[in-house]
Structure 1
């Protein structure tokens, strides 16, 4: 369809008088305050602008409308949530101090600040709605575990027997297993039982036969204990939101890397009961402030912006073909010194040469074979990708953690949260195929100890934008700087997958404008404070309910 075709058909509609009956959803006082055209004028100016300023004004109006509707949906959701009661949780200070002392490190001041925010929310009697945004390796799991301990040792006010429960939802089985193992270490020796529920397994800690370890149990038995309130902490994937999972007293829902879950999945977890549980969402994906204000408009934001004491900054290098040998020798030296490495490839298998549009990029299977035969024959090479069975993935990860596998060749399945402190080198092949935020996440896999970590970025792309982006990865101090840069360089339509936020390209363009985002947010807060049910604004209510019904509950 050509622009000319569209133009003539729209002119026909205009000539039939469609604009005469159109009513503006945005209140008149808001349009006047921000000098925005009415819907009728904006439609004429966007389709038949007489001058450039008309077209710009129309775009500004539609961009504002989109961001305003997102904000309105969030603020309305927040107002509805605040009408519900939340469990009042006041952890015993001495017991909390004792729990924190179980960790081998002293919490950073930003971790302490995050816990203060959470415990302050717990006392209010309203459901907490908080986003914990921390750079890779900044210690979000410690904050989550301490909050979980506070909840799992608090009794619900109407029940002297039993305690509140915690649901901890992870985006992948690998990560759920990892959190389960971490929590076993954190809670070992305490009278707090922990369950794991994924698509492929159900486990419980401690085991009756082996008090120091976990045991596989039947799914039915695990769900029975959860429903009876006998299991205080349940960790899992989206299996946690199936109808069969019923909590007796769910006090806290923690969701890790929640943008990987659909809106409905998150809301199911948090809205299964009349008393809405406290909600803690965690992400290591760096999000520009304007985007955070928009897509997480109904969450209070806490930043973890410090690294644990003694953590060395990672050395990132863009490797050319001529420097590959030097890089391989460095990997050899590090592994001989007892360290381990990841090699990340964009594909699982080699592309089909018959397919015209096949993605020509390095594959995990071919690269693993090449390095095992030609580059590092003396080392043990492992393979990990999304199409492997959960049991195979678990076995590979365990062998890598034990140190039996020296080099793990994987897809970006290791992007989120995988934690092997001894792995200090990551090589990313075909780096131009990953977003900056994703590259930063991958790089974060090796900032897990106080050993010096290295990230090698390899690309065949000669594009100026690709080179600029990858150089930025090597020089940016943290993920937040990178996210702002990604927004500028790649264009907002691609940022963190604009489509996944339910926002159009025009809306994403608007998100680059902090003043517009803040104005839309302030107007939404003012309107909802004055009219929480939007009864006097029927058109706005209809727009919010239809357009943003399923856009990010958070």
Structure 2
């Protein structure tokens, strides 16, 4: 036994060479600590060992032991197949064992080798056999096996890193494991009757009983939630100590600005704007999340805050996730200002491909060089800067920045916030806007350090989108309806999921967990294949006389932007796309959203797609094409019944988990926390304990191990 140095780099372990190291890092494994905390996704229960005489039924998972009596490999050259067949004997009976395309096993298992085998039985014309079992050589009778005859952990994998290899790395560490420092305070461990840290680590990886694994999993889920909440609360406290620009709420100016808007604000928009404007007055950095439904008018609320900021003599910046959305924001904001004849607010657009400014006159041109625009920002001659992440580059310096608006739900921490202001002493205010509604439990966990404003209501001038499930037998009717919409001069979005890779198909059928298994390149090509197939069908068979375009992730940004602009200009009738079409893209003339294989998407994502139509004055429709009934059909019916994105998001969290929500994976949440986000009671307990610990010891001076763990997480996980 020894005291494990958890910060030891994983490359110090045997068998982790230069080729394996980047693969492990892809799984987030850099140190021994990371390896021990790479928890199983599920378990195979191979614990019930039976004699060969007891093996009698096909399609049954069994664990057996026996001595190899015969072994040979046959090759079927036409099919490029190698079949290795062994006969094993345990004294009570004999059993045939078959492996496919593993010819090396013939040399690995000479006659007389004793094996432990776990796998599923099968039946062919020669009788019962064991098909492609997991195997281990038995050296001693009392040997503690790793891959067979026990409850076996199955881990999140990536290409080149199998569960078997991870078990091979982790088991020796656990056998030598001594005292591990426990960062979870002793009083919490005692209060909730959690297992000690060393015991929990052993039980989550190699449990004797599944109950032991579950107890360990609950302990670690609580611990990760607790640490996550603690970090959020500390961030909030640290931010509260910093001074920020004090922007007074000019009620008359805001009332006049709101009256001049092209549409009345909803009550939710009014309340959210009021909450934001009151935050700006406090002299402490605002940290607010605008959690809005699709089409709820988040941009206008943000513009009200930016207008007040500029009126007070400061600058504001809005960061969008893509160039298309940044340009859309530029168009929306300048259009509203132009209609109100507010020409004294200078607006700039800074993206990778161009730079623009507004208003323009005989002297001021719309298109400028990026260098000129950056100089204007630095001199305070641009009041509102709109862009992508280009606006937080080193060469962008603000003169008097007071408000940062992030139009995506990724984390944007104190460090990034202060980078924007460089030498300013005051911290800017931060307003984050979500791309899709976030369920309460998820918002509480990811954004525990933010105040939240909800936008549930939609502007009253938009007709409700009619949503219909279209079974395969009724697709012709839907196509006829779409044709009639196009005849009226309307346009159509078609979304299709990517074609599944073999690994995804295996995962759906109960195989290995999918995390990291399929490379991004393979996923991208699967998307291209799916869109191309649908594009060919619609453009050549279903709508041969219509103008059809397609979009997918392999299309270059400039070409993609041209296709979107041409679609907006009415050059195409139908746009076929994967889910890459940006959230919030405004095509007021698009009235039909057609989604192929709708059962392959989550409710939250389907609701997001639906929100891309219904942005104009015409009645809009969403058609959910599906060939599945049962559970999938009942899930899709929820979309027919409700347009409430928050209600659908809560349902999706319970059905599919939090990974469906855009930006969640980028938020630094460990997988174990992700799996626990439906457990509101556990989240409440974790937050309550975090609050109590900080009340007792605001700097965590009384909890040095806890403080050390938080510092490690801050360094290893980019929370910002």
Q: Which residue does 1:436 correspond to in 2? A: 603
Q: Which residue does 1:252 correspond to in 2? A: 403
Q: 1:298, 1:533 → 2: CA distance? A: 17
Q: 2:441, 2:546 → 1: CA distance? A: 46
Q: 2:655, 2:620 → 1: CA distance? A: 27
Verify the 8 A CA contact 2:442 2:658 in the aligned structure 1. Answer: no
Q: 2:570, 2:185 → 1: CA distance? A: 63
Q: Which residue does 1:307 correspond to in 2? A: 458
Q: State the 1:248 CA deviation.
A: 1.2
Change (3 A) 1:493 1:448: closer
Q: 1:276, 1:532 → 2: CA distance? A: 22
Matching of residue 470 in structure 1 with residue 636 in structure 2: yes
Verify the 8 A CA contact 1:270 1:276 in the aligned structure 2. Answer: no
Deviation string for 1:270-328 (max 9, x for gaps)?
Answer: 56443111100001322221111111111111110111114333222222222111111
Q: State the 1:31 CA deviation.
A: 2.7
Q: Which residue does 1:144 correspond to in 2? A: 302
Deviation larger for 405-414 or 508-517: 405-414
Change (3 A) 1:549 1:466: farther
Q: Which residue does 2:329 correspond to in 1? A: 179
Q: Which residue does 2:360 correspond to in 1? A: 207
Q: 1:284, 1:346 → 2: CA distance? A: 20
1:207-246 correspondence runs (5 A): 207-209=360-362, 215-246=366-397
Matching of residue 31 in structure 1 with residue 189 in structure 2: yes
Deviation larger for 365-374 or 242-251: 365-374
Q: State the 1:262 CA deviation.
A: 7.6
Q: 1:123, 1:172 → 2: CA distance? A: 31
Residue among 252, 258, 281 paired with 1:123: 281
Q: State the 1:203 CA deviation.
A: 0.6
Q: State the 1:530 CA deviation.
A: 4.0
Q: 1:522, 1:542 → 2: CA distance? A: 21
- Secondary structure of the 1:62 match is helix
1:81-160 correspondence runs (5 A): 81-154=239-312
Matching of residue 535 in structure 1 with residue 701 in structure 2: yes
Verify the 8 A CA contact 2:464 2:620 in the aligned structure 1. Answer: yes
Q: 1:279, 1:147 → 2: CA distance? A: 11
Q: Which residue does 1:332 correspond to in 2? A: 483
Q: State the 1:480 CA deviation.
A: 1.7
Verify the 8 A CA contact 1:270 1:279 in the aligned structure 2. Answer: no
Verify the 8 A CA contact 2:482 2:592 in the aligned structure 1. Answer: yes
Q: Which residue does 1:484 correspond to in 2? A: 650
Verify the 8 A CA contact 1:465 1:489 in the aligned structure 2. Answer: no
Q: 1:405, 1:12 → 2: CA distance? A: 61
Verify the 8 A CA contact 2:604 2:660 in the aligned structure 1. Answer: no
1:241-280 correspondence runs (5 A): 241-259=392-410, 267=417, 272=422, 273-280=424-431
Deviation string for 1:184-208 (max 9, x for gaps)?
Answer: 1111121101100111111111123
Deviation larger for 30-39 or 422-431: 30-39
Q: 1:265, 1:419 → 2: CA distance? A: 33
- Secondary structure of the 2:669 match is coil
**Structure 1 runs not aligned, ≥5 long:** 155-162
Q: State the 1:26 CA deviation.
A: 1.5
Q: Which has the larger radius of gyration?
A: 2
Verify the 8 A CA contact 1:176 1:235 in the aligned structure 2. Answer: yes
Q: State the 1:495 CA deviation.
A: 5.9
Q: 1:413, 1:200 → 2: CA distance? A: 19
Residue among 198, 223, 246 paired with 2:351: 198
Q: State the 1:543 CA deviation.
A: 1.4
1:425-464 correspondence runs (5 A): 425-459=592-626, 462=628
Q: 2:279, 2:629 → 1: CA distance? A: 48
Verify the 8 A CA contact 1:200 1:390 in the aligned structure 2. Answer: no
Change (3 A) 1:398 1:507: closer
Residue among 672, 675, 696 paired with 1:509: 675
Q: Which residue does 1:158 correspond to in 2? A: none
Deviation string for 1:475-528 (max 9, x for gaps)?
Answer: 344222222222222245666576433333322222211111112112223333
Q: 1:336, 1:8 → 2: CA distance? A: 64
- Secondary structure of the 1:445 match is coil
Deviation string for 1:449-493 (max 9, x for gaps)?
Answer: 343221112245x48554454344333442222222222222456
Deviation string for 1:384-443 (max 9, x for gaps)?
Answer: 444444444444333333334332223323241101222111112243443332222111
Change (3 A) 1:491 1:392: closer
Deviation string for 1:65-88 (max 9, x for gaps)?
Answer: 011111111111121111111111
Higher strand residue share: 2
Deviation string for 1:336-359 (max 9, x for gaps)?
Answer: 2232211223459xx9xxx99973
Change (3 A) 1:288 1:106: same
TM-score (norm 1): 0.87
Deviation larger for 98-107 or 365-374: 365-374
Q: 1:369, 1:45 → 2: CA distance? A: 53
Higher relative contact order (CA 8 A, sep 6+): 1
Q: Which residue does 1:547 correspond to in 2? A: 713
Residue among 563, 575, 581 paired with 1:408: 575
- Secondary structure of the 2:288 match is strand
Verify the 8 A CA contact 2:233 2:449 in the aligned structure 1. Answer: yes
Change (3 A) 1:360 1:126: closer
Verify the 8 A CA contact 1:263 1:553 in the aligned structure 2. Answer: yes
Q: Which residue does 2:9 correspond to in 1? A: none
TM-score (norm 2): 0.68
Verify the 8 A CA contact 1:426 1:454 in the aligned structure 2. Answer: yes
- Secondary structure of the 2:580 match is helix
Verify the 8 A CA contact 2:417 2:427 in the aligned structure 1. Answer: no
- Secondary structure of the 2:648 match is helix
Change (3 A) 1:517 1:396: same
Q: 1:332, 1:35 → 2: CA distance? A: 64
Matching of residue 318 in structure 1 with residue 469 in structure 2: yes
Deviation string for 1:233-275 (max 9, x for gaps)?
Answer: 000011111101111111110001232x786995466564431
